[in-house]
Amino acid sequence: MASYAEAYSADRSLKGKLRRRLVRLINTRPLAKGPPRPMVSFTFDDAPLTSAVAGAALLETRGLAGTYYVSAGLSGTQAPMGVCAEPVDYKRLAKAGHEIACHTYSHLDCGQASGPTALADVVLNAQAVAAWDVGEMVSFAYPYGDVAGGPKGALAKRFSTLRALHHGLVEKGTDLNQLPAVGIEGPDGEAVARKWLAAAKARSAWLILYTHDVRPDPSPWGCTPEVLARLIDQAAADGFDVVTVREGARRLNL
């Protein structure tokens, strides 16, 4: 696999596509009851420094908080979305009420790994993050959004939710071991997010949005501060409860 300092995407072969389809059917944990009112979570994968600064500020000025899926092995390194945040940044985020969540230690492709390998990488991440004094990590997101059956089953025992990247809403029957999420990325990211906000409002569901960097000249996996601000304000205007993933799970008794 290429270094994460280079752009990387999960396995796109026919075998990979079939695995992704089949894994949705195994090691499932259906949500027993959906939320009583619409919720939305703003999440940041890999925690580029721009998301820890600009992204966090946009939420904090509105009295809100987000979820940061962190791979400790990336701390302070150069990623395709920019330099990643460091422990001092994560400590500040946690103190401000943001959730620090798990993204494996090495940004492991869980679609290519075994269950024991994924679990060991997660344990290593927990050990590293424990030294930062940011609280226990109870939420997880698969790097690249990809997972095989082994890691999906192994990690389900450790976290309240495991988030993937396929589009959808969290409602009754949703698999908690492979939660859907919608990316705020690319030229149509805002329009796609608005479509899913409207669907979540109509169905009183929980929408998880994600991005990576937050800067005026975003990477293909990021968004501008203006886009993020408009989506936060739209959610508030539409009556959504803006929650961290940890808080959303707590409200669902997970």
Domain definitions of the chain by residue range: 38-251
Name the average pLDDT for the chain.
94
For 87-91, what is the mean pLDDT?
Answer: 97
List Cβ neighbours of 195 (8 Å cut-off, separation of 6 or more).
none
Q: Where are the alpha helices (DSSP H) in 73-133?
A: 87-95, 115-130
- Give percent of the chain with pLDDT exceeding 90: 89
For 20-33, what is the mean pLDDT?
Answer: 88
Weakest mean pLDDT among 18-22, 50-54, 79-83, 91-95:
18-22
Q: Where does residue 98 fall: left (phi above 0), alpha (psi -120 to 50 degrees), or beta otherwise?
A: beta
Q: What is the pTM of this model?
A: 0.94
Structure confidence at residue 164 (pLDDT): 97
Residue pLDDT, tens place only, 199-216: 999 999 999 999 999 999
Residue pLDDT, tens place only, 54-73: 999 999 999 999 999 999 99
List Cβ neighbours of 44 (8 Å cut-off, separation of 6 or more).
51, 52, 55, 66, 67, 68, 69, 210, 211, 212, 214
CA distance 219 to 155: 30
What is the second-level CATH architecture of the domain 38-251?
Answer: Alpha-Beta Barrel (3.20)
pLDDT at 21 over 90: no
pLDDT at 1 over 50: no
- Give percent of the chain with pLDDT exceeding 70: 94
Structure confidence at residue 9 (pLDDT): 64
pLDDT at 240 over 90: yes
